[in-house]
Every structure is written in C-alpha cells, then in structure tokens.
Structure 1
Amino acid sequence: MHTEPHQPLTPATRYGNPIHRPRPVQPHTILLPQDIPPGVDWVTLPNGVHTLAYTHPHPGPTPEPEPVRESIPRWAKTTALLAPTLGGGIAAAGLGISYAAPGVLAMAEALWATVALIAAGALAPLLLRTPRGRVGRGAGPVQHITQNITATGVFGRATGTLNNR
C-alpha cells in the first residue's frame, strides 16, 4: 500500500494564505453616458437597484427569411419511380391483348363449334328414333351404323371406315 509523506498540519493565520487575503479596495470609476459601450444600458433590478447591464440590441426590421427547401419524402420518390414502370407494364399488356385478340376470337368460335358438335351428338339418337312420316304409317326400319377409326401417334392422321347396315 502506497502512502504519501506525512506533513504536519499547522493552523493557518487568518490572512497568512494568499488565497484568503482580501483584495485592496479600488476607487469606483464614474462612467459618463457617452462612455457607456454599445450593448450596455441602465437597468432596474427587482430589488430596485439601478445598475449597468448587458442588454440585447433592439432589432430593426427583420429581413424575410429565405424559404426552407424541404426534402422530398422517400415514399414520393418511390412512387415517382414506379409510375413509369407501372404505365409501361399496362401499355405492354394492352399491346399483347391487341395482338392476341384475333386468336382469342378464333378460339371462342372453335369452342362454340365444339359445343354445337356435342349437342348434336347428344340429340342425334333422339332424332333418329322418331317415326318418319305421318301418324298411322308406322315406324321405318332401324338403321345400324358402325364406324371404325384408327390413328397412329398423338398427331397422326386418322383413317376410318363406315358400315351402313
């Protein structure tokens, strides 16, 4: 453990220490009104004493402040950058639809033709079994039609025979 060298404490005299010595009294200087520097003025303190103090200068007409340039928010920048992209995407979609329209119309017509073919296939047996001619003559002979279709491969050409008995 480290210890400092010991010095005995001696009682100090009242003014023996230079820190506690009173300052010599200097005579007050008298300031004339023309000697008061700018920014200093006579003021009255709350206890009624008049004294000199620094004061704020009274401002004259204040110049208009320059307009503060506000920064653009991040969401506005993002929206501004996405707008042309979104518009370009919509334009490309419209162009694609305009090129695809004839094909879509052709597919719609093919779909209607398929629906008509299915309907005709479903109604054909009903139409073939109805009596031919007027009432009282009886039904005509029943015809049997046999059809054989063969095709090779997925996209091969189909061939077939039709037997009417």
Structure 2
Amino acid sequence: MHPHPHPTLPPQDIPPGVQEVILPSGERALAYSTGPTQPPPTAPVPPVAQPIPAWAKATALLVPTVGGGIAIAAVGLSAAAPGLVAVSHVLWSTVAALAAGGAAAAAVISRVRARITAAQREMQRPHITQHITATGLFSRANGTINHR
C-alpha cells in the first residue's frame, strides 16, 4: 500500500462529476467521470389526479345519443325493407324502359338520317366553274363564272 493513506470522504462531500471507484488492486480512489453524471435519486412523486377535459365529457355525453339514433335507424330500415325492395324493382324497371327507349330512338334517328342523305344525293348541287384569262404580265384579267 501507499505510505500515505488517503482519507475517505463521506458520499455527501464528493463533488459532482467525481465518483469513488475500486481499482483492480482493491484500493479505493476518486475519479472524474467521463460520461454524463447521474443526478442524485429523488423520492418518487405520487401521481396527481388531473381534471377530465371538456371535450371528453361532451363526447361521453353524445355516445348514447348517437348509439340510440343508429338503433332507431336500424329499426326503421327493417320496417321499411319490403317497401325498399318494391322501390328498387320500380327503379330497375324504369332504367330498363329508358334503355329500350334510347335504343329505339337511336334506330329511328339513323333511319331518318339515311332518308335525308338519300334525298340530298338525288338533288344535284350546283356546279360552279370559273374561267379567268390575262394576256400579259401586268394586264387586266377577265373571267366568266358558269353555274350548272
């Protein structure tokens, strides 16, 4: 051992950032810590009751109302189910009638167009021709227009 033994310090007198370590030889020594220092342990703080937020109270009050509304809607739909089935049949029949009417209208329109096109082919359109002559580079041009 050393000829001059070091006195040991009580734990409360050891400055922050310094800790007591035991060397491999078994000797105790004070050393500076290179890592973050740990604060002294404190007594655990008991949890404090916090008030319930206003939005949580409002939501809790609305839940039974919304649930009741959904239940009433379900009862109403179950009572109206036969009527809803009948309405859906009427709607599908209407869609089918509109589709058939559209197909018939397309057929009629195509026939009418064909007749109009045939009638226009029978009528001759006027054929217009022009004949223009000029005798020199800067001379006056004369022409005739023929409608046939």
TM-score range, shorter chain: 0.3 to 0.5
Structure with bigger helix share is 2
Q: Calculate the TM-score normalised by the size of structure 2.
A: 0.33
Radius of gyration: which is bigger? Answer: 1
Which of the pair has the greater relative contact order for Cα pairs under 8 Å at 6+ separation?
A: 2
Q: Calculate the TM-score normalised by the size of structure 1.
A: 0.30
